[in-house]
C-alpha cells in the first residue's frame, strides 16, 4: 500500500465528514458534567451520528471495538471504552469521534474538564493543544513528517512532559487508518515529504509523567505506566498547495490560533 492523494472531489467529501465529526464534539460538550457516565456520552453521540447526521460511527466494531466513541479519562492515554463509570469534578476526559459520511472518514478529539481543572491538568491540556497546533502550522508541500514530529516532541519535552511513542497519527480517507504513520516525535529532515492532496491526522498524546504506556486486559484501554495524567487532541487535515486545511475545526477554534509561527514556541 502507498499514500493516496485525494482529488478535489474526494477533498470535498473529507471536508463534509470532518465538519460532521467536529459537530459531534460541539454537540456533546454540554453533557460532560459531574455524574454523567461515559456510556451515556457514547449513547448520545451514537444517536446523534446515526439518527441526526446519518453518519456511521467508525469505531463501532472496528477490530472488535464495542462502542461508537472513545472516552479516555485521566491517566487513560487513548482508546478508553465508554462504561458505567461516572465522571466526577476534576476529571479530564478525551472524547475521540470518527464518523464516516459518503464513504469518507473524519477523525477528531478534544479534552474536556469536568468542573474545575487542577493547575497541572490545565497546563497539560494547554500544552497538548498547542503541540497539535504547532504540528499543523508546519504542514505544507515539501515539509517532511520528521520535521513535524520533531517540533511536537521538542515543544512538549521543553515543558517537561513526554510524548507517547506507541500510537500515532495516520493517513485517512476511505480507509480509517492508512499510510503514512504520523509520529509525534522524530528527527528533522527525515520521513516522507508532504505533497498536495495528502490527508492525515495529527493527534499527539502527552503524558504529565513518563512516556511509557500499558495496555489493559480488555485489549483496548491504554494507560500511562506511572499513572500520570495524559491528554490528547486530534484534527484531520489536508495538505494544500500553500499549506493546510483543517477539516475538523470547531467554531470555538480560530484559524489564527492554529497558525503559529514556530518562534512562538521557543520559550
The Cα–Cα gap between 209 and 229 comes to 7
User: How does DSSP classify residue 234?
Assistant: B
Residue with smaller CB distance to ligand MF3, 171 or 265? 171
Could you identify the residue written with the cell 497558525? 259
Among 38-46, 48-56, 59-67, 223-231, the segment contacting ligand MF3 (CB under 6 A): 59-67
Enumerate the β-bridge partners of residue 104. 101
Q: φ and ψ at 42, to 5 degrees?
A: -60, -45
110, 234, 237, 239: which one contacts ligand MF3 (CB under 6 A)? Answer: 234
Residue with smaller CB distance to Co ion, 233 or 265? 233
Does 223 engage in binding with ligand MF3 (CB under 6 A)?
A: no
Does 110 engage in binding with ligand MF3 (CB under 6 A)?
A: no
Q: φ and ψ at 14, to 5 degrees?
A: -65, -35
Binding mask 207-246 for Co ion (x = CB under 5 A): ---------------------------x------------
Report the run of H or E that residue 36 belongs to, with start and end: none
96, 147, 178, 245: which one contacts ligand MF3 (CB under 6 A)? Answer: 96
The Cα–Cα gap between 185 and 188 comes to 10
Does 211 engage in binding with ligand MF3 (CB under 6 A)?
A: no
Residue with smaller CB distance to ligand MF3, 172 or 208? 172
At 50 the three-state DSSP class reads: helix
Is there a contact between 55 and 100 (Cβ–Cβ < 8 Å)? Answer: yes
Is there a contact between 99 and 56 (Cβ–Cβ < 8 Å)? Answer: yes
Number of residues that bind Co ion (CB under 5 A): 4
Q: Output the CA–CA distances (angstroms, integers) from residue 185 to 33, 58, 81, 204, in the order listed.
A: 33, 27, 26, 9
Selection from Co ion, ligand MF3, none that 62 binds (CB < 5 to 8 A by kind) is ligand MF3
Does 203 engage in binding with ligand MF3 (CB under 6 A)?
A: yes
91, 107, 110, 147: which one contacts Co ion (CB under 5 A)? Answer: 107
192 grid coordinates? 516522507
Report the run of H or E that residue 91 belongs to, with start and end: none
6, 79, 101, 184: which one contacts ligand MF3 (CB under 6 A)? Answer: 79
72, 153, 201, 228: which one contacts Co ion (CB under 5 A)? Answer: 201
Is there a contact between 102 and 127 (Cβ–Cβ < 8 Å)? Answer: no
Cβ at position 143, least distance to ligand MF3 in Å = 22
Q: Which positions lie near ligand MF3, rule CB under 6 A?
A: 59, 62-63, 65, 70, 79, 96, 98, 107, 203, 234
Q: Which residues bind Co ion (CB under 5 A)?
A: 96, 107, 201, 234
Amino acid at each position: 500500500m502507498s499514500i493516496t492523494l485525494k482529488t478535489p472531489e474526494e477533498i470535498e467529501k473529507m471536508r463534509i465528514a470532518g465538519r460532521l465529526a467536529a459537530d459531534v464534539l460541539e454537540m456533546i460538550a454540554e453533557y460532560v458534567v459531574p455524574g454523567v457516565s461515559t456510556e451515556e456520552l457514547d449513547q448520545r453521540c451514537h444517536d446523534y451520528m446515526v439518527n441526526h447526521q446519518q453518519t456511521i460511527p467508525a469505531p463501532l466494531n472496528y477490530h472488535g471495538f464495542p462502542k461508537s466513541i472513545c472516552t479516555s479519562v485521566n491517566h487513560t492515554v487513548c482508546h478508553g471504552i465508554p462504561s458505567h463509570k461516572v465522571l466526577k469534578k476534576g476529571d479530564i476526559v478525551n472524547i475521540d469521534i470518527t464518523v464516516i459520511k459518503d464513504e469518507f472518514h473524519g477523525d477528531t478529539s478534544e479534552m474536556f474538564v469536568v468542573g474545575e481543572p487542577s493547575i497541572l491538568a490545565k497546563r497539560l491540556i494547554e500544552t497538548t493543544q498547542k503541540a497539535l497546533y504547532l504540528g499543523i502550522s508546519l504542514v505544507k508541500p515539501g515539509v517532511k513528517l520528521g520535521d513535524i514530529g520533531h517540533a511536537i516532541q521538542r515543544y512538549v519535552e521543553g515543558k517537561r512532559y513526554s510524548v507517547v511513542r506507541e500510537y500515532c497519527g495516520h493517513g485517512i480517507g476511505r480507509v480509517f487508518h492508512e499510510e503514512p504513520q504520523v509520529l509525534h516525535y522524530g528527527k528533522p529532515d527525515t520521513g516522507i515529504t508532504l505533497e498536495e492532496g495528502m490527508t492525515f491526522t495529527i493527534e499527539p498524546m502527552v503524558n504529565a509523567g513518563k512516556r511509557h504506556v500499558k495496555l489493559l486486559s480488555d485489549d483496548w484501554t491504554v494507560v500511562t505506566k506511572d499513572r500520570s495524567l495524559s491528554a490528547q487532541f486530534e484534527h484531520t487535515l489536508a495538505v494544500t498547495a500553500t499549506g493546510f486545511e483543517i477539516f475538523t475545526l470547531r467554531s470555538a477554534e480560530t484559524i489564527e490560533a492554529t497558525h503559529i509561527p514556530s518562534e512562538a514556541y521557543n520559550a
